[in-house]
Amino acid sequence: MFKLWSEIKKGARKELKPNLGLRPWSDLGVGEKSIMWQHMEWYFFDKTDNYDRESGYFKFFGGYPEVENKKKRIFLSIDVLNDSYKAQNFAPTFLGEPSLESASVDFYDIFINKNESVVFELLSFYCRALISERSKEKPYKDEGESEKDFEKRTKEWRYNDFDDFAKKFNEVLEAFGVNVYLTRSGFIPRQDPKITETVYEPVLEFLSDTRWEKVNEHLSDSFKYFQTGDYGSSMSNSVSAVQAFLQISVNGKIGKGNIAELISKGQSQSIIPNDVFSKTIFNNIESIFARERQKKTGVHPKVEKADEKSARIVLNLVMVFIQHCIQKD
């Protein structure tokens, strides 16, 4: 088999694809963001000075209805961003004369020139618009297909376009060493690829069902606070996500029960694993969460300040905990 130069030349791989580590969006230069945009323009639009003057907007790629959906995503994400943060006026061109053209101008300007919070909030609105396109639609049911299999396939089908976008965007983010990762539940802190692949992705895919909406709310807040450096709030929301997960699993809804009670009840009802390994984990997990929560969050008087390492450990522990609970299915 023919070998690549990078496979036979020592040091070539490192030179061709240097390890940029993990860095925030703010560390990227305009040139780097421009290259990232070019890699993503299939999903956004072709940003050139010579836009399509006949149609009045930049070139969008694909056929019908794909192009129309992409136009709507750009327009809606800018419209919602401006409406949500009126005083900031993040999209002044669009505010002055709302149109697809002005939305495209502001969308590109934000991606290239604005800070991390504005960029990822805009992209979050974009992703919501993308996901909503199939949220109430269903694919054709195959003859003889069971209702259970059809519902499972429908769920995956509804996320197909988003998953395709997220896969490409995550490849670009990773190539430039950006410290976030896009999932069905939103942006999360980038982890070791193995942790993301084996723990985060399957758990967040499982939780994408509307049944787990409250769990996702807490997890999304935990990810958000982690990114902004509010590690105490991140840890608090991580623990709340576990409690919400157990309440829904055991009681069918949010409301009553602390973690220890819910674990015991869930095991007695065979809702969550009850093997020796699980018992060891579950007998200790609430004390770990309670100790970290009391030491480093605002729930009780803080003994020490929460830091990134502690918040990441708690977040990872939460994801592993939920993964172990759902593996029995």
CB burial class (10 A; 0-12, 13-18, 19+) of residue 184?
Answer: middle
Place of tokens 């409301």: 255
pLDDT in tens, the chain (329 residues): 888 988 888 888 888 887 777 899 999 999 999 999 999 999 999 986 545 555 556 889 999 999 999 999 999 999 999 999 999 999 999 999 999 999 999 999 999 999 999 999 999 999 999 999 998 888 888 888 888 889 889 988 999 999 999 999 999 999 999 999 999 888 988 888 888 888 898 999 889 888 999 999 999 899 888 888 888 888 889 889 989 999 999 999 988 888 888 888 888 888 888 877 676 776 666 666 666 556 555 555 454 567 888 888 888 888 988 998 887 54
pLDDT of residue 305: 67
What is the C-alpha separation between 164 and 168, in angstroms, rounded? 6
Amino acid letter at 150? F
Architecture of domain 184-329: Up-down Bundle (1.20)
Beta bridge partners of 23: 178
Residue 222 near residue 255, CB atoms below 8 Å: no
Ramachandran angles phi, psi of 97, nearest 5° = -150, 85
Place of tokens 């969308």: 107
pLDDT of residue 288: 67
Choose among 212, 189, 184: nearest CA to 326: 212
Radius of gyration of the chain (CA): 22
Alpha helices in 186-305 (DSSP H): 193-195, 201-206, 213-228, 231-251, 259-268, 276-296
CB neighbours of residue 49 within 10 Å: 4
pLDDT of residue 1: 84
pLDDT of residue 52: 52
What is the C-alpha separation between 67 and 23, in angstroms, rounded? 33
What is the C-alpha separation between 254 and 215, in angstroms, rounded? 9
Provide DSSP, 21-53: --B-GGGS-HHHHHHHHHHHTTTS-B--SS-BT
What is the C-alpha separation between 57 and 94, in angstroms, rounded? 13
List where CATH 1.20.120 sits in the chain. 184-329
pLDDT of residue 245: 93
Q: Which residues are CB-neighbours of 278 under 8 A, at least 6 positions away? A: 267, 272, 324
Q: Which residues are CB-neighbours of 147 under 8 A, at least 6 positions away? A: none
